[in-house]
Structure formats: structure tokens, C-alpha cells
């Protein structure tokens, strides 16, 4: 990624208007296909909803900066594909991440089961012991009779695993901005920097070389 245009810490400031250094935090979206990952992202990035989004292939990258408690938080977001054939690539995207959003479809119990698997996988294999994990119970706009995953069940799992849980709707926008705001509130002062052989290196945001089908984008996304 390029930091062109950003003032480095302690530099580029003027007496009348100090520059604000944006801290970049890597965030990954995980979950089964068609649960609405990319729709949530589109709502967050552009406050839009589209029924005709293309399926994410491999992963797609985007960024957005928000202000949280006087800090400029730059989310560096990887939206991963939910298809089974791409599942093995997911660790390359959440490696070094500061946060993860695991999405499930409230009308599909299987996606909740898979969401639990995602959470346990991230907790057991992430290089960041303090990664912030949020569970998004998506499609909250649908009527209660269509929802097959009781919210109490999700609440119990979230409490057990120490997760942030919010009901979301990419269609109406319910809690989408709040989801990212709450994550920002839980982030540490500094982005996670994984240690490699005793050294500390910046968390990588470049596309993993193994994901040859990755689409890079800024401000547009496909169905997750």
C-alpha cells in the first residue's frame, strides 16, 4: 500500500494546523458465501446496497478511514471469498490482522455453524493474541419467521468466545457503521506487528502471492 499524502509522526505539521497521522489497522471479513460480507462492506464504504454484486473471487482489498475518540483509524480491509475452494487461503489474509468480522446469515443455520468454525480457527491460528473478533448476525431486515438462528444462541457463543456481537442488515444499513465503530473502539493504540524470528515487522497488507485470483478494488465490492 502507499502512504503518499500522509504526514509521518512528528513531521509535516504546521504551527497553525497540525497533521493527523492515520494508523492503519488490517481487518478481514470472513464467512460462508452469500452471507452478505461484501454487501456489508459496500454499505460501510459507500452507504449503498446492490442486489447485483458479483461474487468475490479470492479476496478484494479496500480502505476507509474513520475517526474514533480523537484518533484517525484507517481500516485496511480484506473481503475474502466464502466458497469452499478458497477456504484454505483465509489464513493468509487474517495473518497479522488487528481485527476480523465473521458474518453469518440469520436465515441459514449452517452459516452460523461455519461462523463458529471461523472464530475458532482465527483464535487458534492468528499470530495476534489480541485480535478483535466481531460476529455479525446479518440479514436482520428479514421477518422473524424466516430467521432460523435464535439470537440467544449467538449471544451465548459470543460470550463464550469473547466476541463483539451485532445484528446487521446490509440492505437497510442497520448497525453496519456501528459495527466498525465498535471495533475501532476496541483496537489498541498501535496496529499489530507480528514478530518474525525475534524481529518485529509491519503487518502485511499486500495481496498474498498464492491468491492469483485476487481482485484489488477501492470503493467497490462483490457478494461475499
The pLDDT score that the predictor gives to residue 213 is 39
Residue 198 in this model has a pLDDT that exceeds 70: no
CATH of the domain at 136: 3.40.50.300
Does residue 207 lie within any of the structural domains?
Answer: yes
Domain range holding 183?
A: 23-216
Does residue 130 lie within any of the structural domains?
Answer: yes
| Selected residue with higher pLDDT from 193 and 31 | 31
The pLDDT score that the predictor gives to residue 127 is 93
Q: Are 221 and 42 in contact (CB under 8 A)?
A: yes
Does residue 224 lie within any of the structural domains?
Answer: no
The pLDDT score that the predictor gives to residue 56 is 74
For residue 101, give the nearest of 171, 158, 20 by alpha carbon: 158
pTM: 0.79
Does residue 156 lie within any of the structural domains?
Answer: yes
For residue 166, give the nearest of 145, 139, 184, 187 by alpha carbon: 139
Does residue 15 lie within any of the structural domains?
Answer: no
pLDDT in tens, 110-120: 999 999 999 99
The domain tally of the chain equals: 1
The pLDDT score that the predictor gives to residue 196 is 59
Residue corresponding to grid cell 465498535 = 182
pLDDT in tens, 99-152: 999 999 999 999 999 999 999 999 999 999 999 999 999 999 999 999 999 999
pLDDT in tens, 44-95: 999 999 987 777 776 899 999 999 989 999 999 999 987 767 778 889 989 8
H or E element, residue 68:
strand 59-68
Amino acid at each position: 500500500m502507499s502512504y503518499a499524502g500522509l504526514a509521518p509522526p512528528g513531521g509535516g505539521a504546521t504551527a497553525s494546523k497540525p497533521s493527523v497521522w492515520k494508523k492503519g489497522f488490517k481487518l478481514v471479513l470472513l464467512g460462508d458465501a452469500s452471507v452478505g460480507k461484501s454487501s456489508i462492506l459496500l454499505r460501510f464504504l459507500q452507504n449503498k446496497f446492490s442486489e447485483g454484486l458479483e461474487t468475490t473471487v479470492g479476496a478484494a482489498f479496500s480502505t476507509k478511514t474513520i475517526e474514533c475518540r480523537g484518533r484517525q483509524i484507517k481500516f485496511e480491509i480484506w473481503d475474502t471469498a466464502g466458497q469452499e475452494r478458497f477456504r484454505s487461503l483465509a489464513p493468509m489474509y487474517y495473518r497479522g490482522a488487528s481485527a476480523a468480522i465473521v458474518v453469518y446469515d440469520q436465515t441459514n443455520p449452517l452459516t452460523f455453524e461455519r461462523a463458529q468454525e471461523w472464530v475458532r480457527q482465527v483464535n487458534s491460528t492468528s499470530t495476534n493474541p489480541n485480535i478483535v473478533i466481531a460476529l455479525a448476525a446479518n440479514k436482520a431486515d428479514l421477518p422473524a419467521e424466516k430467521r432460523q438462528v435464535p439470537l440467544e444462541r449467538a449471544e451465548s457463543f459470543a460470550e463464550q468466545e469473547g466476541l463483539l456481537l451485532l445484528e446487521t442488515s446490509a440492505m437497510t444499513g442497520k448497525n453496519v457503521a456501528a459495527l466498525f465503530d465498535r471495533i475501532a473502539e476496541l483496537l489498541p493504540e498501535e496496529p499489530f506487528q507480528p514478530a518474525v524470528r525475534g524481529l518485529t515487522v509491519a503487518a502485511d497488507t499486500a495481496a498474498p502471492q498464492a491468491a492469483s485470483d485476487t481482485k484489488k478494488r477501492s470503493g467497490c465490492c462483490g457478494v461475499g
